[in-house]
Amino acid sequence: MTTAEKSFALPAGDEPLPQTYARLREAGPVVPVRLPGDVPVWAVTTHAAVQEVLSGDDSRFGKHSSHWRALRDGEVPEGWPFLPLVYGEHMLMRDGAEHRRLRALVSRDFTPGRVEALRPRIEEVVEQLVADIAARTGTVDLIAAFAEQLPMVVICELFGIPEPERPRLRTWTQALFSHQSTPEDNHRAATELVGYLGTLIQRKREHPEDDLASAMVRGTTEERLDDRELVDSLFLMLIAGHETTVHLLGHAIVHLLADPAQLDLAVRGRRWHDVVEETLRLTPPVYGSLFRYALADTTVAGTPIAAGDALLLCLGGAGTDPQRHGPDAARFDLTRTQRGHLAFGHGPHFCLGAPLARLEANVALPILFDRLSACGWRCRRSSCGTARRS
């Protein structure tokens, strides 16, 4: 890989991540970067280059950490904060036949019908959250009071997580994804979460219920996930299943409150589908996807990549690529003609939870803004997601 002197640092001090990804994209479709701990990877920055890599899953690129040469050679520091997100035997980190097997076992129970059946319950939860907000006085932080609440309730009810146990799950998730977390915080959160999931699996085995976790534990007479696969699969689905939707809802709320004209267009024109897709394009729930590994010497967008090199997919940069989305790609615009985005990936690893995230957002956002307006709340111009009663 290129020397550190020619590499970009990521993160780049106090520079906002969208600006960093735009700067990397201007440097080229594939550029060398150094992550914390002086770990070298390639940043893939444009829509076309990211899609090229995603299209090469299971042929040119793999996802399992065993492919990463730097990890095998001991070049990644012990206790590196991103290791909990790199390791795993769930479907997100497996390749080929093993990925297809695990995905089939999970998707067998996580069906479109099961997702759509959640709609009435999502509506009920949203109405209750909005009623609680409307009963308050003064300024309300809609991110904390709404965007963080709904996905947690939905995913925990889907998997049969009792209400008293949900705050711990949220605490672990925040520690794993927070930029302020120390390596010790990450390791502690991952360890405690894995221990909790082991206990949950045993509980569901002894006392199965009508929930997705029980269905995954039960399996079929032909094949079941083993305990390690169950823990890792639940880790992935519980974390990704609510954290990404928290970001989707939060980003949508902030975009709308920051631009009254766009909010008015969404409310009066019932452009909620456009709100969801434009939010996903401009500010995807996952800005950088860890990692793809080259299975052999190859090229991406004409850049030579050695076998075993790791590639960070800059989904955030791809979403604001002017070559794909026009010269105003960095602007939130509901009238934009959508050309397709990569917020949920592409190819064999396309996000299994995308229908649930879209359902939650398309149900929640119109109810939130309609009810707040009807109750006399003014969604004032804000860059942090707050509303105030008129």
pLDDT value at residue 382: 55
pLDDT at 3 over 90: no
DSSP state at residue 57: B
Q: How far apart are CA 264 and CA 271, in angstroms?
A: 10
Report cis status (omega within 30 of 0) of the bond before 11.
yes
Q: Which ranges of 225-376 would DSSP assign to H, the alpha helix?
A: 227-258, 260-269, 272-282, 315-319, 322-325, 354-374
Q: Is residue 312 within 8 Å of residue 336, measured between CB atoms?
A: no
Q: How far apart are CA 296 and CA 307, in angstroms?
A: 4
pLDDT value at residue 78: 85
pLDDT at 56 over 50: yes
pLDDT value at residue 375: 74
pLDDT at 308 over 50: yes
User: Looking at per-residue confidence, does 288 or 305 come out higher?
Assistant: 305
Q: How far apart are CA 89 and CA 269, in angstroms?
A: 45
pLDDT value at residue 381: 57
What backbone torsions phi and psi does residue 43 show, to the nearest 5 degrees? -100, 125
Give the mean pLDDT of 354-378: 89
pLDDT value at residue 114: 84
Give the mean pLDDT of 227-241: 86
Q: At what angle do helices 272-282 and 227-258 cross, to 10 degrees?
A: 110
Give the mean pLDDT of 148-165: 94
Q: List b or e across 97-134, with b for residues whose CB sees 16 or more CB atoms inside 10 angstroms.
A: eebeebbebbeebbeeeebeebeeebeebbeebbeebb
User: Looking at per-residue confidence, does 175 or 63 come out higher?
Assistant: 63
Chain-centre distance of CA 17, in angstroms? 15
pLDDT at 182 over 50: yes
pLDDT value at residue 224: 81
Q: Is residue 143 within 8 Å of residue 257, measured between CB atoms?
A: no
The phi-psi region of residue 233 (left if phi > 0; otherwise alpha if psi is between -120 and 50; otherwise beta) is: alpha
pLDDT value at residue 357: 95
pLDDT value at residue 5: 47
Q: How far apart are CA 130 and CA 135, in angstroms?
A: 9
Average per-residue pLDDT in the chain?
90
Least confident of 82-91, 237-246, 284-293: 82-91
pLDDT value at residue 186: 76
pLDDT value at residue 389: 52
Q: What is the CA radius of gyration of the chain?
A: 21
pLDDT value at residue 328: 97
Predicted confidence band of residue 246 (pLDDT cuts 50, 70, 90)? very high
